[in-house]
Chain A
Amino acid sequence: AQSVSQHNHHVILSEAASLELGCNYSYGGTVNLFWYVQYPGQHLQLLLKYFSGDPLVKGIKGFEAEFIKSKFSFNLRKPSVQWSDTAEYFCAVKGGAGSYQLTFGKGTKLSVIP
């Protein structure tokens, strides 16, 4: 069974600080990896995804994530956060082609202080 581990439950940053949210996964085969964001009072939106190729993927709003296969990690980064990035961030993993079950991590709440 696949599982996802997010190391930080709540991260508090000042505006312009750099962000890195950790994500490790456990899965025995080919994986597809995702980061989702949930802004306060809203539902989940896809931030970025990794399927294959370049392990550094870029998403919306200046976010990027790096897939490190040897470490089973898919950490999310942003060089300079804004107050509007305050949200909850979820890492998710799915098996390869033909797999439809998406397994989410427990989420990391990010609070950005103006």
Chain B
Amino acid sequence: NAGVTQTPKFQVLKTGQSMTLQCAQDMNHEYMSWYRQDPGMGLRLIHYSVGAGITDQGEVPNGYNVSRSTTEDFPLRLLSAAPSQTSVYFCASSSLAGVEEGEQFFGPGTRLTVL
């Protein structure tokens, strides 16, 4: 099992550009989520999904879109990048029972810089 994979590992964007951060898991987990991690701010939930076709907003959804067309993939789209979106982005997945237990599996992260 590869676990949770994220691509790219690093990305530099210019203000106004759009891009998609990829996240995939091979554990057949129903639950997937995106967090951003900023210094001194901890992790903040952007969007999450409890199954294919079902997504919901977290704490900081503005400027981001998600979709869940398959169980395996949960891409995060930045529609028009802003410097405030400079951050490290983590994808996580879990079974629905597992998320109840806090057993989320985190990916390695994508470090995004917006100039």
Contact = CB atoms under 8 A, between A and B. Distances in A.
B100 A103 contact: no
Q: Which of A45, A90, A106 has the most CB of B within 10 A?
A: A106
Q: Is the interface of A mostly helix, strand, loop or mixed?
A: strand
B102 A46 contact: yes
B42 interface: yes
Interface stretch (A11-19, A60-68, A78-86, A93-101): A93-101
Nearest to B109: A43
Contact of A43 (B58, B99, B103, B108): B108
Interface in B33-91: 35, 40-45, 48, 50, 58-59, 90
B48 A100 contact: yes
A44 B109 CA distance: 10
B42 A105 contact: yes
Interface string A10-44: 00000000000000000000001010000000011
Contacts of B31: 100
A106 B40 contact: yes
Interface residues of B, number: 25
Contacts, number: 53
Contact of B103 (A46, A97, A105): A46
A92 interface: yes
Interface string B89-115: 010100010011111101111000000
A113 interface: no
A43 B45 contact: no
A103 B50 CA distance: 17
27 contacts: A4-B42, A6-B42, A9-B40, A32-B100, A43-B106, A43-B109, A44-B90, A44-B104, A44-B106, A45-B106, A46-B102, A46-B104, A49-B101, A49-B102, A51-B101, A92-B102, A97-B100, A100-B31, A100-B50, A100-B99, A101-B45, A101-B58, A101-B59, A103-B45, A104-B35, A107-B40, A107-B42
